[in-house]
Structure 1
């Protein structure tokens, strides 16, 4: 037995020695200094992680962003956006309110942990969420270790696997004259009603450069004073999540005033996307053209409003309280069609001898039917009582009390409903059967452009009450319906 025990001990010792030797990092000796140095693996513990990152996901400062990386970031932003909207749907605000949870806020009116922590339940991270003490600071002895558990939703595609820092950040603003300067002001949180510029016109979340990454549980945000400088060592394009949940990639080098306007939810400023957006779209040229035409019309309507403080028609475009010409004509100066606009006799009906001669000069962006007759359009609003366009003067943004993202601006009707483009005629609203006004639709969905400028696809079988509520601008009914983003066929 003693001999047996000695043999086992000896084998165990050999095994231990072998395992220990195998686990040690190899070392090399510098022939110049005769000092032992670590291998490349020891010098760079993250080397194996870096090798696993697709080179297309790594962008140097100022370089163009690859389409592959943008699509990866877009997926993360979409996930974050959906969580924020689901939080809002449940709480009616984008963050917990100090009235409901004063213990979540510090003496400066800021949340003790990041907004990212508060949306964890809507990212299928309830178990992690319940581990936080929301009434303690983000770096308290209890909360600090939880930073090591950052969900993938907050991880950029080129972030090291073990990192607890995120590049998905928001701009922190404040309340000025009862208006928020960002969607995430310090103190009282924002609701959809506060985003009067339209959710599709307001930046919610951005991806910054690696040098601007922060611990994902840390509260606070980027500085609005110099937004352009806050992006750090980012790529030439800045991926952003808009308030409506859509994603875009904006040119980094646009000026601070434009960035401030994009970030501000209530500054009455609408930016022309064509000048600042970097296109990573997979749409065909024809599909892109259709979307661009819809966007141009929406932007023109907002620019008209900026000029006349209401949507068309303004008082100067009425004759005895009525409009001789369609709103589509009065948009012409804002569609780079001033020369055509000046040819109309505004004091004459649309079908006067003179004005009828201009029918065939309808701008291409009003034509959405390749087989359509010349001079007729399917771009129409709903009109009549309880619509944004009841007759007479056009509406003002402040009249859209249900929210611009909850109210239909204009639609693409069926071909049988097409009208001469200069004729002041649109779709008669019938609350009992509103879809009937759209005509004989041959597709399962129709195009709607909301009053925040977003372009949606509405199913033909949408309940009449839901569609009616989306048409009425001030009925007090906020509709929780997720109309998908329109994608041309």
Structure 2
């Protein structure tokens, strides 16, 4: 209860700021549709998709993002994307790379930030990722069912790579990013397992909070 109370206090002041930018609202809408797709996938398969599909030699073939594409095609705002991804080819095939290049904003956020007391703006981008860890919703070589009141996906600023690349981050890597102020001063969006998208302020991004929020029930 103490953690919930503190988080509520941290979240409230930033809600309006997070949704005031049209680009941020667009990305938030993407995340809501992705949350719905995850639930539809679980209804059909009994669990979340694997973080990565590998071949017999252990080479990565497709990420959870690619696996979700068939569940996103009819949802706003994904109707505008060209999602003719081929699962009989690896993520790095010329065709699948062209699909990624045509849809660079898929699973990615991109917005301008106004600096305090300055007319100049800087552009910031982020990538929606799964946090790979045995305690999270995305353990290595396993799948889990969606529970309640935990983060299932989170955006991380300034991560390289398009959405088709089957790479995410580990919990240790995320914790290290919190220590280097990667999320300062603007915080980030997180997709919860109940489908809600919440704006997390920088105060939440510390090892203790993140370890709790990412731990699967």
TM-score by length of 2: 0.68
- For residues 170-181 of structure 1, the aligned pairs below 5 Å read 170-174=130-134, 181=135
Give secondary structure in 2 for the equivalent of 1:253.
helix
Residue 128 of structure 2 corresponds to which residue in structure 1? 168
Query: 2:36 aligned to 72, 82, 85, which one?
Result: 82
Comparing both structures, which one devotes a greater share of its residues to strand?
2
How far is the alpha carbon of 1:256 from its aligned partner? 0.5
Q: Is the 8 A contact 2:63 2:165 kept in 1?
A: yes
Give secondary structure in 2 for the equivalent of 1:225.
helix
- For residues 332-347 of structure 1, the aligned pairs below 5 Å read none
Residue 172 of structure 2 corresponds to which residue in structure 1? 225
Q: Is the 8 A contact 2:110 2:126 kept in 1?
A: no
How far is the alpha carbon of 1:65 from its aligned partner? 4.7
Distance in 1, Cα, partners of 2:190 & 2:36: 14
Give secondary structure in 1 for the equivalent of 2:142.
coil
Query: 1:122 aligned to 71, 85, 92, which one?
Result: 71
Q: How many residues get paired?
A: 179
Distance in 1, Cα, partners of 2:105 & 2:183: 22
- For residues 198-347 of structure 1, the aligned pairs below 5 Å read 199=148, 201-209=149-157, 211-230=158-177, 232=182, 235-254=185-204, 255-266=206-217
Query: 1:216-258, CA deviations, whole angstroms, 9 ceiling, x for partnerless residues?
Result: 0011211201424436355432211001101112222332122
Return 5+ residue gaps in structure 1 as ranges. 1-63, 99-103, 160-164, 175-180, 267-489
Distance in 1, Cα, partners of 2:57 & 2:174: 22
Q: Is the 8 A contact 1:112 1:138 kept in 2?
A: yes
Q: Is the 8 A contact 1:166 1:215 kept in 2?
A: no
The RMSD of aligned alpha carbons is 3.2
Give secondary structure in 2 for the equivalent of 1:206.
strand
Q: Structure 2 vs 1, CA of residues 258 and 118 (structure 1 numbering), >3 Å: closer, same or farther?
A: same
Return 5+ residue gaps in structure 2 as ranges. 1-15, 113-124
Give the structure, 1 or 2, with the largest relative contact order (CA under 8 Å, sep 6 or more): 2
Distance in 1, Cα, partners of 2:56 & 2:177: 26
